[in-house]
Structure 1
């Protein structure tokens, strides 16, 4: 099972609607759908996570974004946060930790009653 599939499964078990992508162009096309949260990986084929967050924030700067990445250098975290990411989680991580971070971000942004739609974007190799 890929990381994309694993995380999608856990998020669905929490009751959230999840749409996932393994291709940058598919994810780019979904920006107009205005999901409630993006979970992005930085190192992706085609459109990387940095470019995608620029496009997401250009469309709607209020949409929350969480980066997850194997790139865990301070500079990578700083760039991700400067581009507008609300959180940055380095791989490997506990899936439960991601779930908690997603839940807390939803509560801050949307309140406790809404069931937002999440969009996940990971490369096929994960």
Structure 2
């Protein structure tokens, strides 16, 4: 029995220069009743994003007019919160880490099981709709350690107003820590959508590592997220809002 789709209004953009693969993925997604778009290049992708509201991009890395990694970096630098699943024939750990580092929310290596892609898309869309949205005036910033987290623009702000962009996954992760500061959170609590496999899922480790590196650029930032061996992770800081 197929789980109900997140929303009939969810728009998924499939980006692959191979028309057969693109059509195959779109065909597999039709059962979910998403609004589906397909393009074959970065140029077409950028044009589509200017004209359409897109919830999630299935992004191939190797495109005829550029690398999908560069596009991912551009979108995050612009503050875009669109969900991104990178799909590529590159299978090395370095490529996976680089993709997550540049702002991808998930990563699949070809060939993959169609069902796995469906589940990952559904989970990302569900998470995107359940993320906390703060009232602009009532609660714009969360203050912790030397940092401010902008809850509207989803980015870190340093005391000198320097901005540090966060991927959607990094933002969600930091929000979980901020919701329960000074409390040890198990891996299952940080990745609830993968509760059954969280104990073995290394994605959370990559995301925390990248988040720590971004926080560590300010004095005291490297001591904010601590590992509690055998239990999980903790944000070792009080949190205030303004």
Structure 2 length normalisation: TM-score?
0.44
**Counterparts of residues 45-84 of structure 1 (less than 5 Å):** 45-84=64-103
5+ residue gaps, structure 1, are 112-126
Counterpart Cα distance in 1 of 2:36 and 2:101: 26
* TM-superposition CA deviations, 1:64-99 (whole Å, max 9, x none): 100010001011001100000000001110011000
3-state SS of 1:2 partner: helix
SS in structure 1 of the partner of residue 81 of structure 2: coil
Alignment of 1:20-59 (within 5 A): 20-32=38-50, 33-59=52-78
What is the aligned partner in structure 2 of residue 11 from structure 1? 29
Q: Give, in whole Å, the separation in 2 of the partners of 1:47 and 1:91.
A: 19
Match of 1:124? none
**1:28 positional shift:** 1.6
Alignment length (residue pairs): 111
Larger Rg: 2
Matched with 1:96 is 115
Indicate conservation of the 8 Å contact 1:25/1:47, yes or no.
no
How far, CA to CA, are the matches of 1:55 and 1:18 in structure 2?
23
- Whole-Å separation in 2 of the counterparts to 1:35 and 1:68: 17
What whole-Å deviation, never above 9, does each CA across 1:92-116 have from its counterpart, x for those lacking one? 10011000000011111114xxxxx
> Which residues of structure 2 form unaligned runs of 5+?
1-18, 131-242
Q: Is the 8 A contact 1:31 1:59 kept in 2?
A: no
Change (3 A) 1:56 1:34: farther
Aligned partner of 1:107 in structure 2 is: 126
SS at match of 2:57: strand
RCO comparison, higher one (Cα < 8 Å, 6+): 1
Deviation, 1:61, is 3.1
Q: What is the root-mean-square deviation in Å for CA atoms of aligned residues?
A: 1.4
- Distance in 1 separating the partners of 2:35 and 2:49: 16
Hey, what's the Cα distance between the residues in 2 that align with 1:21 and 1:95? Answer: 19
User: Alignment partner of 1:30: what SS?
Assistant: helix
Separation in structure 2 between the aligned mates of residue 60 and residue 35 of structure 1, nearest angstrom:
14
Whole-Å separation in 2 of the counterparts to 1:78 and 1:50: 11
Moved more, 29-38 or 81-90: 29-38
CA distance in 2 between partners of 1:57 and 1:10 (Å): 28
Q: Give the conservation status (yes or no) of the 8 Å contact 1:66–1:89.
A: yes
